[in-house]
């Protein structure tokens, strides 16, 4: 029995060693993908499928996604169309990842000091204010003005994917700037949703949400390590916030920004303790081998004690390797694939399907919300982005990162007009299915497509493949 137990211990040790080697082999790939955490490809494919599906007569796209479902769980009871359930239940995970990205940028990235954050902050403000002004200029005084926030957000998944298509025309510093800009842009969009697009507030539900948040903070303060408890409390927090009249995406962003971004110990302490624990495991393994080779009784108390000590060191070894990774980084690594290949594609499939009719196309060339969205995304975004950058640099509040010039800023500004995910989401909040939502979605898709084409085409035309440093003039 004891020999079998020791064999199992050895098997566990070998499994962990193989896992460590796989992780080590994947590190270059994860570092390469680190800037573009969320993949835009699956979302694009889902959007194309949704558009085709919605325009096939009798295919049942609208009937499926607008079929109403009721969920009742204790005090929580909601009735919504299926596509709204997709938005309310899945999109918080996208904003959770956004919150993790923002936290990382604030602690370790481009937003960890005022000097570094000034330019992303300035262009984010410009990229919100000018598109909003463009939209209101077309819709002022009409009921459609309630959609003013639709063009203010950037779909960073698409933007970074398009920057990736430019290859070495877009150096790493440009992608870092785009990611930092998107982090602030996400905060702005979330605050807008929380303040201007929240339903009637239910204070009892918000009190419950505050209770869940307090429990999460208490678990952090008590250094509770079990991830399941955080996920359960987080789900309760999201559901309570949604029931309280504030959209669940706000809760997702808050949870992401609350995740600890520091590991439990330093690299030096980790290496020292790993060496020490590995040495203990090797010594114990040698002593156990002596027991077996000498023919001594492997059922004796001393042998069993050696096995238990080895198991304890093995558990500590696992705890050290897991604990060194910051919780925010660990959740980002684990959740991002689910967001890229499940959450966003399902969201796109449920919301991007728009019947392309003569009336919908005609609305794109007449004054109103549809034309306002297209103009705001394709012209307002880059103008606001570049104007804010010029003001920040001219006044000395900010400086261009190394390797970034005005041509790079122009390309990023154009790609910032790819609204898609968040723009479709805000459109859902501002308009109803019978109140012109389909033509608004079509305008978002068209404006985002034009912005993507302009940004990518300009990047290939203006940026040189070997360019690593551009002049700001």
Task: Among 285, 300, 324, identify where a domain stops.
Answer: 324
Kindly state the DSSP code that residue 146 receives in the 8-state scheme: G
- Exposed e or buried b for every residue in 318-337, given b needs 16+ CB within 10 A? eebeebbebbbbbbbeebbe
End-to-end CA separation in angstroms for the chain: 76
In terms of domains, do 375 and 444 share one? yes
In terms of domains, do 343 and 452 share one? yes
In terms of domains, do 443 and 373 share one? yes
Using the Cα atoms of residue 205, residue 207, residue 211 and residue 216 in order, give the sign of their dihedral. Answer: positive
In terms of domains, do 293 and 403 share one? no
In terms of domains, do 362 and 307 share one? no
- Domain containing 142 equals 41-56+110-198+333-462
In terms of domains, do 131 and 175 share one? yes
359 CB burial (10 A radius; 0-12, 13-18, 19+): exposed
Return the closest-CA partner of residue 75 out of 236, 231, 210, 308: 236
122: in domain: yes
**How far is Cα 261 from Cα 248, in angstroms, rounded to an integer?**
23
Q: How many structural domains does the chain have?
A: 2
243: in domain: no
Number of helices followed by number of strands (H, E) in the chain: 20, 2
In terms of domains, do 277 and 352 share one? no
48: in domain: yes
- Answer whether 0.75 is exceeded by the pTM: no
In terms of domains, do 306 and 455 share one? no
Task: Among 324, 347, 372, identify where a domain stops.
Answer: 324
**How far is Cα 5 from Cα 304, in angstroms, rounded to an integer?**
10
pLDDT per residue as tens, the chain (473 positions): 445 555 555 555 555 444 444 444 444 434 434 434 456 678 888 989 999 999 998 888 989 998 888 887 766 677 888 988 998 889 899 889 888 888 887 787 767 777 778 899 999 999 999 999 999 999 988 889 999 999 998 887 788 778 878 888 888 788 888 888 887 888 888 889 888 887 778 888 899 999 999 999 999 888 787 788 999 999 999 999 988 888 888 899 899 988 887 766 666 666 676 777 777 777 777 777 777 676 665 566 777 777 777 777 777 666 666 666 778 888 888 898 899 899 989 998 998 888 887 777 776 777 688 999 999 999 999 999 999 999 999 998 888 888 889 999 999 999 999 988 889 889 988 887 666 888 898 999 999 999 999 999 999 998 887 544 444 44
CATH number of residue 350's parent domain = 1.20.1530.10
**Helix (H), strand (E) at residue 71:** strand 68-73
């Amino acid at each position: 029995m004891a020999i079998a137990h020791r064999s199992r211990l050895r098997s566990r040790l070998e499994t962990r060693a193989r896992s460590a080697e796989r992780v080590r082999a994947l590190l270059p790939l994860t570092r390469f993908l680190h800037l573009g955490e969320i993949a835009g490809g699956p979302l694009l494919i889902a959007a194309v499928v949704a558009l085709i599906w919605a325009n096939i007569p009798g295919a049942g796209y609208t009937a499926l996604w607008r079929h109403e479902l009721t969920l009742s769980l204790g005090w929580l009871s909601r009735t919504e169309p299926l596509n709204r359930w997709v938005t309310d239940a899945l999109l918080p995970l996208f904003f959770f990842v956004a919150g993790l990205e923002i936290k990382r940028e604030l602690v370790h990235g481009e937003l960890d000091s005022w000097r570094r954050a000034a330019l992303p902050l300035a262009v984010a403000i410009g990229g919100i204010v000018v598109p909003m002004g463009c939209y209101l200029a077309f819709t002022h005084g009409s009921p459609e003005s309630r959609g003013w926030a639709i063009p203010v957000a950037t779909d960073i998944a698409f933007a970074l994917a398009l920057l990736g298509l430019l290859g070495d025309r877009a150096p790493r510093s440009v992608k870092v700037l785009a990611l930092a800009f998107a982090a602030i842009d996400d905060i702005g969009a979330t605050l807008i949703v929380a303040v201007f697009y929240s339903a009637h507030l239910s204070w009892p539900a918000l009190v419950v949400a505050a209770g869940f948040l307090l429990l999460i903070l208490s678990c952090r303060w008590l250094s509770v390590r079990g991830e399941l408890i955080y996920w359960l409390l987080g789900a309760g927090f999201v559901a309570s916030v949604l029931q309280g009249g504030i959209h669940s995406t706000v809760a997702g962003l808050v949870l992401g920004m609350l995740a600890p971004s520091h590991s439990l110990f330093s690299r030096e302490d980790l290496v020292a303790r790993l060496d020490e624990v590995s040495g203990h495991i090797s010594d114990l393994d040698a002593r156990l081998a002596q027991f077996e080779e000498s023919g001594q009784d492997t059922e004796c108390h001393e042998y069993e004690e050696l096995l238990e000590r080895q198991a304890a060191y093995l558990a500590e070894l696992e705890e050290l390797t897991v604990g060194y990774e910051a919780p925010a980084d660990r959740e980002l690594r684990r959740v991002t694939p689910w967001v890229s290949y499940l959450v966003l594609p399902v969201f796109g499939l449920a919301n991007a399907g728009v019947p392309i009719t003569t009336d919908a196309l005609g609305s794109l060339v007449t004054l109103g919300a549809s034309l306002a969205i297209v103009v705001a995304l394709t012209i307002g975004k880059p103008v606001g982005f570049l104007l804010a950058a010029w003001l920040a640099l001219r006044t000395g509040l900010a400086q261009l990162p190394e390797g970034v010039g005005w041509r790079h800023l122009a390309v990023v500004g154009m790609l910032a007009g790819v609204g898609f995910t968040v723009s479709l989401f805000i459109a859902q909040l501002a308009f109803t299915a019978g109140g012109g939502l389909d033509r608004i979605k079509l305008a978002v898709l068209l404006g985002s497509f034009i912005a993507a084409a302009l940004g990518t085409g300009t990047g290939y035309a203006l940026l040189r493949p070997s360019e690593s440093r551009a002049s700001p003039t």
